[in-house]
Chain A
Amino acid sequence: MSDVVEKTLTALPSLLSLDSQPGSAKLSSTSKLGNLIRGITELTSKHEEEKLIQCELSSIKEQVSSPNTTMMKELMVRTIYCEMLGYEASFSYIHAIKLAQQGSVLEKRVGYLAVSLFLNESHELLLLLVNTVLKDLQSTNLIEVCMALTVVSQMFPKDMIPAILPLVEEKLNHPKEIIRRKAVLALYKFYLIAPNQVQHIHNKFRKALCDKDPGVMTASLHIYLQMIQENPEGYKDLTASFVTILKQVVGGKLPMDFNYHSVPAPWLQIQLLRILSLLGKNDQSTSEIMHEVLDESLRRAEMNHNITYAILYECVKCVYTIHPKSELLEKAAKCIGNFVLSPKINLKYLGLKALTYVVQQDPKLALQHQMTIIECLDHPDLIIKRETLELLFRITNAQNVTVIVEKMLEFLRISKDDHTTIDLVGKVAELAEKYPSNHYTYAPDNEWFIETMNTVFSVGGDMMQPDIPNSFLKLLSEGFDSVEEDRKLRLFAVNSYISLLRGEPGKLPQRFLQVISWVLGEYSHLRADLEPALVLRLLAKLLDMKNCSSETKSWVLTAMTKLCEGGSGVSVAQQVSETYGSSLDTVLRQRAQELQHLSQDSELRARVLPRGAGLDRSLTYCHNLVQVDSSLSFLDGFVSEALAAGAAPYKPPHQRQEELAGTKALSLEPYGLSLPISMSSCITDRQSPTLLSMSSGLSATLKLDGVKRVWGREGYLSQKEPVEEPAQVEVPSPLRSPSQQGEADSFHSQTPSLTPTPESDQEKQQLASSLFVGLGSQSSVCLMGKSEPTTQRFRRKAKGHSTASSTSEQVSNSVISPPSTVDNLLCNNLLDSNITSELAVSSPQLTSRLSQGLAATNGTCDTDTELPESDRKESKPAVIRDSYVVAADPAPHEDPDRPKDLALSSHLPAELSELSHSEITHLCTNQNLELSVCHVQKEDSLLLIVFISNSSDSAVQQILVCLFSGVLFGEEAFTCWCDVVGIVSLLISRVCCRPLTVSTEEYGTMWLAFSHDTKQNLTLISDGQEPLTATLNVLKRRLQLHVVEIIGMEGIVACRLLQDQPCLMHCRVHAGTLAVWLRSPIPDLPDCLIYHCQRALQGH
């Protein structure tokens, strides 16, 4: 009873107030919510508040669960309030859904509100709302439909969209505009979360765009903006419509309702301007349609209110995005000027932003406003400062870089925000690396560079992007144009780091310590007066620091390994390695072991970590010598032993998976109808595991099509340049210096004119001249075709060959992960590096290739031959089935013009000259060496003959030839090798197969005996003949297969690789394709062959 009275009493005031003031709800002083709020404000401590709310929540909980509560709405509002204060009330979620479902309209509204505030898209309870929404969408009550559409646009489970989509779609034709508008927004939301599901209603969006109600039309623009962003080409036809709409809006044709501070529909205008700039980007004809209306917008928008500034800003952006028109650009530039000069700080901010946006096209604008920019740089508001730096970053060139970087570092020191720090540190590093020395003054700027980077490392700390230290080390190790400069730079770095370590290294971030230890390990020997033992002790001190991470420790240990020589050095090293030799961290333990062993064996150390090479020659060579053997060839002995002992051969994960899938999907049909694998998909399928497991090993130039395997039965197959692995190719960011902009050439002839300022501004003037130097006059110079002086120094070194780039990648790799280098070096026998380097003098390109081949040397399936002076050696590795003869002929090739084939074939060994050999294919040449290849088919082997001729005058002392190849056809490795050298790949495969002549009966017995098989559908060829015969003939011709018999729609084919390596093929015409089934005793042969069949047919 008292409950009822209380309820009436609480409801009364609100009802009264509603009556007296319709549409407004004055606070109900006696409501429970009111009491709660007042209660909370009177509290003094957080603890009390917590107690009160908990008490409140438990009372609410009790009441909501009683079956006949009549105050659900009020309770729900109180719960929302508690949640807003940060107290969880998850018990009420289900009641909110119930309220939305069962309540009166009044309660429903609160229920929906509570749901939208409590839950989010992925909440499981939301599923319970779907039915309610469905019901309300079908309601005749507009308010209910509105509520349902509102909640749908705010949050709806993605999977349930199809359930309500038809109903929402239907609402697009609703007579009430508010319903249509909400439906459009709901569809926009659907488009964002599940674009595929609304694809079929794109034409209805067009209808919404043409809706007579401006609200609906505005709502549809959200969808269009999104769709045009994704595909501007598809909506060019709408440009004229958008322009017309904008014209009408600007002309004030919309109802007054839509005015905002007497500006017609600003939100609509801005939306349209955005769409237009997307449509007009890089499209002259489309841009021309909009020039007029843009002009009109710029003219109409008077500078009087924020909202017009917002429109103007959008206009300016649009004018600078679309195809330029000089009149418009001029007006836009004037606008920007007004922004920048405005005393209002928000406008200044926007002006700076606009300047940043356009300054690349129009550096003159920055010059015009240089004094304002300088003022902004000293603005007390950090936001303005930050935005100014952004602008300066865009106009950096070689002349002003020092000043700009200094300003940025200044800001970094005061900024507290992590996000800003990370961003700015990246920008400083980018600039420093871009202009490491000043090409104009030729001042010794090493100091500046190193010190800037020091600040970057210490300020950026461990938050910064990891590629910053990486590229810094890369830059340092690759060096620049002059050897002497490089030495100075490195020496300076060493000096600077030594003094840092002597100071308080504990304060330095981990990343910086890592950089320091690498540099000291590599270059501290440059300083003659520096005892390695001293450096070692400094480094050892780092290890003892408490905050030194184990990653840093391993860098430090690696650096120590490079330095440990001489008496006292060794003792320090021994001491350290003892401490860490028993570390729980396995990496550290390994480093310690290395340190221990290498410090004792100086000869080994010199071979593993060759330092001298880095001294006088560019480091690239040094790193060429240091090759990583990621083929793990050193394990071959172990593997073959294990295999001999009966261990199962290694299968790569993808193969295991395939097999697993194969057993799962057991098809009873001999040829899977359900597997209509197209040629292309099949090929990609085949490539994918390789590409994956090679972990981006191949550079972009290397397009290998072919059955490429990383792992074979015998283990890792040799790959081309496995060291190339991480994608460290640092593409310089496309930051263009303003001088590179060709757009506004008319401006460049103008020289910047500084406005005279009072003497107090002298300082600012100076700053301005240092900041804006090179913006005006210099650009014109560049436009006239002078070489760009701001190229990155380290880029200049590139030799313009794929070899050069790949070696630099290697360098970066070994720079970045010294541990791995050491790892492999310890185990890898560096073949005679002297040879390589000697050769390198005469033919750098080829040598680097050869030396890389050296790295890939793989004991299982390759042949390496060392040839002293026209001596030939054949070697047949035991493991492989195929064997190769590698022949090299260092005989001087005197006349380059005479027919090479003839000349070279005369060098064929006597025992081979009788056999027919293939055409001698020329592989590559440089000024000293020529490479050619041909093959000879012997009964039991395929001989690959490589001719190397010396075309120079000087005698070649030694040549190291290294051939690496795959197992079966020898194609893959060979192709890849040739490819790298830039030669069209050889189709060795064609000559690898030989026909196998067997009778049908023999075929039958063999078929049953063979275990490895593959099935595949191939395309049929029909050129007039019967398709099966035609296809088989092509295969026979191309792959030298033997067609045993053709019976009706079936055919059997046989071939072999060598003796005892047969492969049988069974073909059947089925549903327009050729279903083939291959069997062989050799595991990979069917796969290989099928691939070549595909290629053969494709090429046909």
Chain B
Amino acid sequence: MMRFLLLFSRQGKLRLQKWFTPIPEREKKKIIREMTTMVLARQPRSCNFLHWKDLKIIYKRYASLYFCLAIENHENELLALEVIHRYVELLDKYFGNVCELDIIFNFEKAYFILDEFLLGGEIQETSKQIVNRCIESSDMLQERW
């Protein structure tokens, strides 16, 4: 099960946060701080996996944005890396050549996509088409209203 997903910039600014288990606010802030310092300190071309407490942190950098996913110890690290990648693909498909600014200014859309892709810390739908169709249909509906 995934525990949380954080998106932050190279400057350590948080762009998106999703917590799959209930965590107190104070703790969240601490985790965000720790994650950003830990991940940003990593050398390029080093391993994408980190140990943190009893969790594994899987991170990947796309342009100026870091995606950081925490999974439980027994989970498959490579698969988690691909979860991040699939999410980026979904964003890319939705925004069309996605960049950090898209996510900054339309973060709620990024959340909607994430909610269609992951649910309660598990993969909900792996088909790119289905996720996109789902988002689009909601978008279309809101226009008609």
- A residues with a Cβ closer than 8 A to B are 18, 21-28, 31, 33-34, 37, 77, 80-81, 84-86, 88, 104-106, 109-110, 113, 116-117, 120-122, 143, 146, 150, 153-155, 178, 181-182, 185, 188-189, 215, 218-219, 222, 255, 257-258, 260, 265-268, 270, 306-307, 309-310, 313-314, 345-350, 353, 380-381, 383-384, 386, 417, 419-420
Secondary structure call for the A interface: helix
**Which residues of the partner chain A approach B120 to less than 8 Å between Cβ atoms?**
153-154, 185, 188-189
Beyond A215-B125, A267-B123, is A420–B51 a contact (Cβ under 8 Å)?
Answer: yes
- Partner pick for B78 among A106, A109, A309, CB 8 A cutoff: A309
Chain B residues 66-115 with CB under 8 Å of chain A are: 76-79, 81-82, 85-86, 94-96, 101-102, 104-109, 111-112, 115
Quick check: B76 and A120 within 8 Å, CB to CB? no
- Chain B, 1-43, CB within 8 A of any chain A CB: 14-17, 19-20, 22-23, 25, 29, 43
Known: A109-B112, A153-B120. A383 touches B78 (CB 8 A): no
Q: Would you call B47 and A314 a contact (CB within 8 A)?
A: no
A27 and B106 contacting across the interface, CB-CB below 8 Å:
yes
A260 contacts which chain B residues (CB < 8 A)? Answer: 82, 86, 126
What residues of chain B lie closer than 8 Å to A384, measured between beta carbons?
A: 47
Shortest beta-carbon distance from B67 to chain A in Å: 15
A306: chain B residues within 8 A (beta carbon): 78, 81-82, 85
- Is B52 interfacial (CB 8 A cutoff)? yes
Q: Residue of A at shortest CB range from B24?
A: A120
Which residue of chain B has its CB nearest to the CB of A121?
A: B22
Pairs A–B under 8 Å by Cβ, sample size 20: A18-B139, A23-B94, A23-B132, A25-B95, A33-B105, A37-B104, A80-B107, A81-B107, A84-B17, A110-B108, A113-B108, A120-B23, A154-B119, A155-B22, A270-B79, A307-B79, A346-B48, A348-B47, A349-B47, A381-B46
Contact present for A77 and B122 (CB under 8 Å): no
B residues less than 8 Å from A258 (CB atoms): 126-127
Q: Is the CB of A18 within 8 A of B143?
A: yes
CB distance from B4 to the nearest CB of A (A): 12
- Chain B nearest Cβ from A517, distance in angstroms: 33
Name the residue on B nearest A119 (C-beta).
Answer: B22
Give 6 nearest A-B pairs by CB, closest first.
A27-B105, A106-B142, A310-B78, A120-B22, A257-B127, A310-B79
B122 touches A185 (CB 8 A): yes
Instruction: List the A side residues contacting B79 at CB < 8 Å.
Output: 266-267, 270, 307, 310, 314
A46 shortest CB reach to chain B, Å: 12
Q: Tell which of B78, B96, B124 touches A21, judged by Cβ atoms closer than 8 Å.
A: B96
Q: Which residue in chain B gives the minimum CB-CB distance to A80? A: B108
B145/A346 in contact, CB under 8 A: no
- Cα distance A245–B125 in the bound complex, in angstroms: 17
B102 to A, closest residue via Cβ: A27
Judge whether A181 and B124 touch: CB under 8 Å. Answer: yes
Instruction: Enumerate chain A residues within 8 angstroms of B128, measured Cβ to Cβ.
Output: 257
Given A143-B138, A153-B120, verify A349-B106 contact (CB < 8 Å). no
User: Do residues B47 and A381 form an inter-chain contact, with CB atoms below 8 A?
Assistant: yes
Interface residues of B (CB under 8 A from A): 14-17, 19-20, 22-23, 25, 29, 43, 45-54, 76-79, 81-82, 85-86, 94-96, 101-102, 104-109, 111-112, 115, 119-120, 122-130, 132, 134-143, 145
Q: In the docked arrangement, what's the CA distance between A260 and B130, Å?
A: 13
B49 near A346 with CB under 8 A, answer yes
Decide if A27 touches B101 in the complex (CB within 8 Å). yes
A832 to chain B, nearest CB (A): 54
Nearest-neighbor residue (CB-CB) of B98 within chain A: A24
Complex Cα spacing A85 to B29, Å: 10
Instruction: Evaluate whether A150 and B142 lie within 8 angstroms (CB atoms) in the complex, with A143-B137, A346-B47 already known.
Output: no
Contacts of A86 in B (CB 8 A): 14, 29
CB distance from A340 to the nearest CB of B (A): 14
- B108–A77 contact, CB under 8 A? yes
Residues of A within 8 A of B124 (CB): 181-182, 185, 219
In this complex, the member of A77, A185, A348, A420 whose beta carbon has the largest number of chain B beta carbons within 10 angstroms is: A185
Contact check, A105 vs B141: say whether CB atoms are below 8 A apart.
yes
Question: In the assembled complex, which residues on chain A have CB atoms less than 8 Å from the CB atom of B141?
Answer: 105-106, 143
A349–B122 contact, CB under 8 A?
no
A381 → chain B closest CB, angstroms: 5
A419-B108 contact in complex given A260-B126, A313-B78, C-beta closer than 8 Å? no
Chain B proximity of A404: nearest CB distance (Å): 20
The CA-CA distance from A33 to B111 in the complex, in Å, is 16
Q: Is the CB of A215 within 8 A of B130?
A: yes
Given contacts A122-B22, A154-B20, 8 further A-B contacts (CB under 8 A): A21-B96, A27-B101, A27-B105, A84-B107, A266-B82, A345-B47, A346-B48, A353-B77
Q: Is the CB of B105 within 8 A of A419?
A: no
Q: Which of A27, A154, A265, A345 sits near B45, CB closer than 8 Å?
A: A345
Shortest Cβ gap from B137 to chain A (Å): 7
Q: Which residue of B lies closest to A114 (CB)?
A: B108
A25 and B82 contact, Cβ closer than 8 Å, known pairs A181-B124, A345-B46, A349-B49: no
A270 / chain B contacts, CB cutoff of 8 Å: 76, 79
Task: Tell me, in angstroms, the Cα distance from A81 to B17 when the chains sit together.
Answer: 11
CA distance A21 to B140 in the complex (A): 12
A257 and B122: CB pair below 8 A?
no
Residue on A nearest B96 in the bound complex, by CB? A24
B-chain residues with CB within 8 Å of residue A386 when the two chains form the complex: 51
Q: Which chain B residue lies CB-closest to A185?
A: B119
Kindly report which residue of chain B lies nearest to residue A154, judged by CB atoms. Answer: B120
Q: How far is the CA of A66 from the CA of B49 in the complex (A)?
A: 49
Residues of B with C-beta under 8 A to A121:
22
- Contact (Cβ within 8 A) B51 A419: yes
Min C-beta distance of A421 to chain B, whole Å:
12
Q: How far is the CA of A26 from the CA of B97 in the complex (A)?
A: 11
Give chain B residues whose Cβ lies under 8 Å from the Cβ of A255: 127
Name the A residues within 8 Å of B51 (CB-CB): 383, 386, 417, 419-420
Judging by beta carbons under 8 Å apart, are A22 and B136 in contact?
A: yes
Q: Are A310 and B76 in contact (CB under 8 A)?
A: yes
Check B125 against A181 for contact (C-beta < 8 Å).
Answer: yes
Least CB separation from B132: chain A residue: A23
- B115 shortest CB reach to chain A, Å: 6
Q: Please give the distance in Å from B107's CB to the nearest CB on chain A.
A: 7
* Docked CA distance A812–B63 (Å): 58
CB distance from B144 to the nearest CB of A (A): 9
- Flag if A24 contacts B145 (CB, 8 Å): no
Smallest CB–CB gap between B33 and chain A, Å? 10
C-alpha spacing A310/B17, complex, angstroms: 26
A265–B126 CB distance below 8 A: yes
A182 surroundings in chain B (CB, below 8 A): 119, 124
- Chain B: CB-nearest residue to A123: B22
**Does A106 contact B112, Cβ atoms closer than 8 Å?**
no
Smallest CB–CB gap between B79 and chain A, Å? 4
Tell me the bound Cα distance from A763 to B42 in angstroms. 30
- On chain B, the residues within 8 Å of A85 by CB distance are 14
Cβ contact of A23, chosen from B82, B108, B136, cutoff 8 A: B136
Known: A86-B29, A143-B137. A153 touches B107 (CB 8 A): no
Residue of B nearest to A110 (CB): B108
Whether A350 and B23, one on each chain, are in contact in the complex, defined by CB atoms closer than 8 angstroms, is: no
- A265 and B86 CA atoms in complex are apart in Å by 12
Q: Are B94 and A24 within 8 A (Cβ)?
A: yes
Interface residue from B16, B45, B78, B102 paired with A307 (Cβ < 8 Å): B78
Residues of chain B with a CB closer than 8 A to A353's CB: 77
Among B53, B78, B122, B130, point to the contact of A419 (Cβ < 8 A): B53
Contacts of B111 in A (CB 8 A): 113, 117
The closest CB in chain A to the CB of B109 belongs to A25
> CB-CB < 8 A to B23: which residues of A?
120
